A and B are shown apart, each in its own frame.
Chain A
Amino acid sequence: MDDNLDELLDDKFDVLSLNVSQSPMALSNWENLLNYLLEKASPVCKNINKQLLELIRQTYDSLFAYFPLLENYSVDCALLEYKIGNVKAMHSTFTAALQRHNNSSLLLWIEYLKLCNEVVVNKKQLFRKYELAESYIGLHFYSGEFWELYLEQIKLRCVGRQRYLAVLRKVLEIPTYSYSKFFGIWLRAVDDVKDVKQLTLMAPEKELNRKIKIRIRGRERKGPQLQEGKKALRKYTKELYMVTQHRVLEIYNLFESNIKTHYYCSAEILIEKSEISAWWKYLDYCDQNGIDQLTHLNFQRALLPLAHYEMVWLKFAAWLIQDFQDYITAKNVLSLGLQLSHRKSKILDKLCGLLVKLGKQDELQLLFKQIQSAFNDKIEETDDFELFMDYFDFTIFVEKWNHRNGADVALKVLRKRLSYGSNKSGQEELLHSVCQMYALFPRKLLEEQIFRLIIDENWLYYLDSAKFWYEYCNRIWVDRETSYLEKRRYVVEHIMPLVCKRSDSAKKGIESFCENYMPEDLDAWYDMCG
């Protein structure tokens, strides 16, 4: 009978769990809690307290909800299951962890496969896992360890050499950090060939015949042919070595040597600029140099250290959109990016665009609701102008979706935002943007609801600004519904008198507008100003 959990845990647990619930984004709180629980559970064995085990599992789950890219903790969690003999849970923990990394985590795969070597008896089942891993992380620059594991298992579990040599032959072409080791193995394999027939395991018979002039099924003497064949194979190997080495050195010198962090770091740890720029160039290089599979893998690799930097999410999404028009994956990438990145406005903008494009209005509405609630339903109070502007544009766009009267809602938000005057940035840009929303805000509506409102409320931030008056005159001027003479008269008779007694900077707006569009009224303006 297990002890009661309350008896097992002391007051420290209350403090640690409270810390976690109060600041769930602080990784150290989670670490402290987990260490505490694992200490209580140690030594980990099959007899672990069931309640405590459940508590640890739930803690891990919650941790991964906040920090989905923590590879080491995923491994720890799976090992815990393994240690208590719960192999099924170990598999599902690894599978879930791999899914969080789009199956592109080298570390997870290696740790998983190491355990699989122990617990999976069925050869086919095991190799299916290796094959799956190969397709995801086979081209990783540090995939040498994986290939070694793979080759070792083939050696152990397969009778013939064919599969072993085919895999080894492929590895020779992959630019990995430990490339030379595999060439060594291959050359030894060549040396070990004792019969010309064995050469067919290393190259197709037809090619041996055509390129090296070796007739496997002929009646010629085999001894000299074997020597000739091995010599030719060594020559090919040497040439292949030169090519692979060239590529490895290129990748290593230009990029990999500058990348020091290969794991997810918590939000407060900053990554060096040189490392970020190395990733940027590396990803460009991958994009332009070749294999999409490797580019995808490297994007996934870059996500780990750079998860809090918007650029990597945006670049990844841009690559998916531009090269493959893969909007769904791009959307998923951006969704995770929105959760992890420090700066969110650009990601949000792109994500909203994708959701509109994909017709996912429910998700978009949900996203808006989340943003709204993140800002306590007062998004107009945000200091991030870009974020506000994107929200504003998309709200207008989506309101129209619902066939509702978007103008009223937008006007309300707009008035509120403008009322902050100098306390918020980008007010002039906002006004300019609104002035060109011809379809949504006809001239009359905009004048009544915005320009006249500002004048009546005497918001001096705008009334003393040249840009405000210029914008006002400009909005009148570009109105296609009114004739030239009406517009001119309106500016002279209704706007100029409002400005002529104001500050010099306000007057500059009118003067500048007149110089641009109606110089003939400059005299009237100067007369008005006295």
Chain B
Amino acid sequence: MSSRTEEECSNVLRNLDVGFLKDNDEWVNIVKHVDWEHIGSVDALIKSTEQLVLKYTSPNQTIKNSIQKVFENALARYPLLFGYWKRFTAVQYQLQGLKSSLDVLSRAVDAFPHSLELWCDYLNVLIANNSHEVDKIRINFQIAKDLVGYQFLSHVFWDRFIEFERSQQRLDNLVAIYKTVSRIPLHQYSKYYTAYKTFAHDNAENNELPVDSEEEINVIFANTQSLVNSVWKFESQISQGYFNLGPLPQNELDNWENYVSFAVESKTVSPKLTISIFERCLIPCQYYEHFWLRYTSWVESLDDFDATLEIFQRGIGVVPASQRKLRQRYLVFLKSSLRVHKDKALDTYFLTLAEFSRKYPHDGSFLMDFLNVVKQIEFGSSLSVADQEILKQQRAFAGYLEKNVRAYIRKSKNGDSRLQNLLNENTLPVLVISLLKVNFFNLDDTAQTRAFLSEFEKLPQLKSSTSFWLLYYKILKNTVDLNGLESFVNRLGNEIQIPVLMINDVVSDFKSFFMTNVKLRDYEQEVYDGRYTIGIDPLLDLDFKVNDPLWVKRDTSKGIEKVKKDKKDNGHPGLYLEKPIVSNSIMDSHTKRFANTPPSLPTFKNLEKVNKVAVYKDFFNTDFLHSG
């Protein structure tokens, strides 16, 4: 059970007396063992909680709180389950009265603003019980209009809106409504065609009202009709327009995909209608990153920074952490926005980097992005400024990096907190690499770079950092340090633990580098001097290291020892056997040797093991599973 679930469970059961818990042990059991990933389990929880409301007609405050908590927990996780909002409203009405239930509905439309049902319920309750608050009701109608008014089946909402304004006798508002609704492709668009025509006819003489002429109305509705025909082929295919747990059928996904493609590409579809289609799509498809990606890229094309930001943030809040594309796109969006909306975007960018860095602690790219932006903004050195100034900034940046590396290693507080937030054992190499690059390439300080290399290579965090060792190798090559390179290659796989594929690449690259940068006569001299008798010969020995990182050049004088060590393993790693052997074997002696004296009597070792089963050494368990 996750810590969140545990906390929720204890919140629900807190302060409930023992008698109540005993009487309702089944409910308690459901609360304790609810599986939030399965709708059946969640539904059982809600149902059994509703039973409590029926069972206790006037429960005490603690029980009321518990019941409330159950609904709140469910809706905090899944705010798009509108049915639960409705049931919560009914329960709250019974437990706490009208005002509380109205509050719940108000919260419901905030949490799930694109729910037609919830808005209709909310507006109905408002009109029925707060009819004197005309302005409040009208404002809510206006808000709902943009959020749900463009939905294909929103005629219920429009009917209520028209009825409300008619009851208020606000003809100006009615005109505005008819003008809007007449252009929206609704399931019952023809109803409004007749109503608008009647309204226009009835008010034809009122010159203050900007009513369209009959011909204009005809044209508008002809367009709407054609739009309805276009969207009908998608709307008619939607069988699950609501949110549910579990995957959506493929035909539904395909239909939404075609629908949003149509909305984005068609010139007859207004941006508001496109937004409505996307928002409706993202109710059943909330967990599908693909639709968020489509939505954000469409909104980005509208060049509305705030709207794009909002949609990205909503998407990132719901898309599972395992899906990274939307998050990557968000970072790209923020980064590109830095040039135009630096004030707005910078803080969000840094905060997002910190958040992602916490979420994906193995990914160093966030730190790299951070360093690049910091270098651009805080240590900027345009080529137009004086050379001295540029170099000064480079030195300052190197100092900044070094200070932060040391602050992290020493766990001191004097580093940049923004940067320190992004640092962990996995991302430290990124910072060290930046420091090395600045020193070596920008400040041209080879001595300092070497000092850093020898200092930092000892850090445990860098032992298996591929990028650190590749930079190390690159620097050695760049300075054509052959001794260093040979020692580097020798250490690969033993002291330097990077993936075998990388080792293979380095090894073959070094061979090519050696042959094209070393003079042949120097090589011949080294061969003559016996250097490669013990050390790795770059021309002949490097291939042995390919796919065998632990390979070390065999000292032929110690060869026998190796043979003995390996003898127990029959080419079957894990199977070890003390084999019976003839310890004074004459197998490799020539028979001529025994011309005068016959061979000795055989002596044996491990003879008793002849019939023993081989011992299986389970390296997977000993070295891998229990290595920690």
Taking Cβ atoms with an 8 Å cutoff, the residues of A that contact B are 131, 134-135, 139, 162-163, 165-167, 169-170, 173-174, 200-204, 207, 211, 236, 239-240, 242-243, 246-247, 250, 254, 281, 284-285, 288-291, 293-294, 314, 318, 321-325, 346, 349-350, 353-354, 356-357, 359, 389, 393-394, 396-398, 400-401, 433, 436-440, 477-478, 480, 483-485, 488-489, 492, 515-517, 519-524, 526
Contacts and interface: CB of A to CB of B under 8 A. Distances in A.
A519 B375 contact: yes
Contacts of B375: 519-520
B590 interface: yes
Q: What 3 pairs between A and B have smallest CB-CB spacing?
A: A166-B594, A519-B372, A288-B566
B40 interface: no
Q: Which of A170, A401, A438 has the most CB of B within 10 A?
A: A170
B447 interface: no
B590 A166 contact: no
Nearest to A318: B544
Contacts of B592: 131
A128 B2 CA distance: 82
Interface string B392-420: 00100000000000000000000000000
6 contacts: A131-B591, A173-B586, A254-B571, A322-B553, A439-B517, A520-B382
A526 B513 contact: no
Interface of B: 339, 368, 371-373, 375-376, 379-383, 387, 390-391, 394, 437, 441-444, 474, 477-480, 509, 511-513, 515-521, 523-524, 527, 533, 537, 539-541, 543-544, 553-554, 556, 559, 563, 566-567, 569-571, 579-582, 585-592, 594-595, 597-602, 604, 607, 610
A62 B437 CA distance: 63
Nearest to A289: B567
A324 B556 CA distance: 7
A521 B598 contact: no
B616 to A, nearest CB: 16
Contacts of B381: 520
Contact of A170 (B517, B519, B599): B599
Contacts of B515: 393-394, 396-397
B610 A242 contact: yes
A368 to B, nearest CB: 14
Q: Could you say which of B479, B512, B563, B585 has the most chain A C-beta atoms within 10 Å of its C-beta?
A: B512
A165 B444 CA distance: 79
B607 A239 contact: yes
Contacts of B519: 400
A200 B372 CA distance: 88
A169 B598 CA distance: 9
B597 A204 contact: yes
Given A293-B588, A357-B539, A515 B516 contact: no
A288 B520 contact: no
A523 B376 contact: yes
A166 B595 contact: yes
A317 to B, nearest CB: 9
Contacts of B597: 204
Given A135-B590, A288-B569, A526-B339, A353 B579 contact: no
Contact of A323 (B441, B524, B556, B587): B556
Nearest to A356: B539
A401 B602 contact: no
A281 B570 CA distance: 9
A170 B580 contact: no
A285 B390 CA distance: 63
B585 A173 contact: yes
Contacts of B598: 162, 165-166, 169, 200-204
A127 to B, nearest CB: 9
B591 A433 contact: no
Contacts of B595: 162-163, 166
Nearest to A292: B588
B516 A396 contact: yes
B171 to A, nearest CB: 52
Contacts of A174: 587
Contacts of A519: 371-373, 375-376
B332 to A, nearest CB: 11
A214 to B, nearest CB: 12
Given A318-B544, A484-B444, A524-B382, A170 B587 contact: yes
Nearest to A212: B601
A169 B376 contact: no
A451 to B, nearest CB: 18
A444 B128 CA distance: 85
B28 to A, nearest CB: 56
A250 B568 CA distance: 13
Contacts of B437: 516-517
A515 B434 CA distance: 11
A290 B554 contact: no
B590 A325 contact: no
Nearest to A327: B540
A393 B516 contact: yes
Contacts of B516: 393, 396-397, 433, 436-437, 439-440
A440 B544 CA distance: 27
Given A170-B599, A293-B588, A520-B381, 4 more contacts: A211-B601, A400-B520, A433-B509, A436-B517
Contacts of B580: 242-243, 246
A145 B443 CA distance: 76
Contacts of A211: 601
B22 to A, nearest CB: 64
Contacts of A437: 513, 516-517
A414 to B, nearest CB: 12
A173 B587 CA distance: 6
A169 B586 contact: yes
Contact of A288 (B376, B379, B563, B599): B563
Contacts of A285: 570-571
A439 B516 CA distance: 7
A254 B474 CA distance: 45
A440 B591 CA distance: 59
A325 B555 CA distance: 10
A112 B182 CA distance: 106
Contacts of B601: 203-204, 207, 211, 236
B559 A489 contact: no
A411 to B, nearest CB: 13
B567 A290 contact: yes
Nearest to B565: A288
A480 B540 contact: no
Nearest to A286: B571
Nearest to A406: B516
B602 A173 contact: yes
Contacts of A521: 383
B517 A484 contact: no
A488 B544 CA distance: 41
A397 B600 CA distance: 56
Contacts of A167: 591
Nearest to B566: A288
Contact of B480 (A170, A438, A492): A438
Contacts of A397: 515-516, 520
B186 to A, nearest CB: 42
A433 B508 CA distance: 11
B533 A356 contact: no
B599 A438 contact: no
Contacts of A314: 543
B540 A440 contact: no
A522 B372 CA distance: 10
Contacts of A477: 441
B440 to A, nearest CB: 10
Given A397-B515, A438-B480, A480-B479, A485 B604 contact: no
A174 to B, nearest CB: 6
Given A242-B610, A288-B571, A318-B543, A520 B604 contact: no
A284 B391 CA distance: 58
Contact of A488 (B383, B553, B585): B383
Contacts of B376: 519-520, 522-523
A21 B247 CA distance: 69
